[in-house]
């Protein structure tokens, strides 16, 4: 039996035997208890989200350009650093060509140093690309 149900049962008993003021106070108390239950639920959800983000943050590898990778990700999927920093969302970036990427969520663009190459018979690996700017 929940707290609200218990208060409701006591209120019904008091309604029949005690003055109306006490009954109304008990009803108010029940409403406050219900509000507290909603607040506890909201805080529990918020706490779980913060814990999840904390675990992800421990795995993040930041690069010179504004993209992220995760420590234990063998595929080295690239995520938008801006989306993570401002919204705490891991949004995968789209590789536009051999050296540039773009986030489809926030349009963050950049150049990355590593180009992923793979064939059907070999696992994915990386090679360094050097970019010279005049």
For the segment 46-59, the average pLDDT, to the nearest whole number, is 93
Q: What is the pLDDT of residues 63-106, one digit of tens each?
A: 888 889 999 888 888 899 999 999 999 999 998 888 888 999 89
End-to-end Cα separation, the chain, in angstroms:
74
Number of separate helices (H) and strands (E) present in the chain? 3, 8
Separation between Cα atoms, residue 57 and residue 51, nearest integer Å: 10
pLDDT at 65: 83
Closest CA to 99 of 126, 71, 129: 129
Q: What is the pLDDT of residues 7-38, one digit of tens each?
A: 777 777 766 666 777 777 778 888 888 899 99
Domain boundaries, the chain: 3-52, 63-128
């Amino acid at each position: 039996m929940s707290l609200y149900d218990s208060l409701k049962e006591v209120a019904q008993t008091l309604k029949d035997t005690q003055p109306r003021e006490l009954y109304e106070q008990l009803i108010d108390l029940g409403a406050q208890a219900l509000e507290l239950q909603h607040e506890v639920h909201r805080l529990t959800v918020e706490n779980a989200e913060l814990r999840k983000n904390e675990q992800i943050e421990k795995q993040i590898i930041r690069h010179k350009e504004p993209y992220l990778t995760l420590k234990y990700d063998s595929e080295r999927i690239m995520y938008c650093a801006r989306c993570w920093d401002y919204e705490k969302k891991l949004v995968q970036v789209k590789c536009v060509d051999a050296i540039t990427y773009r986030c489809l969520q926030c349009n963050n663009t950049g150049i990355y140093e590593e180009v992923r190459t793979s064939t059907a018979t070999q696992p994915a690996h990386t090679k360094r690309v050097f970019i010279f700017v005049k």
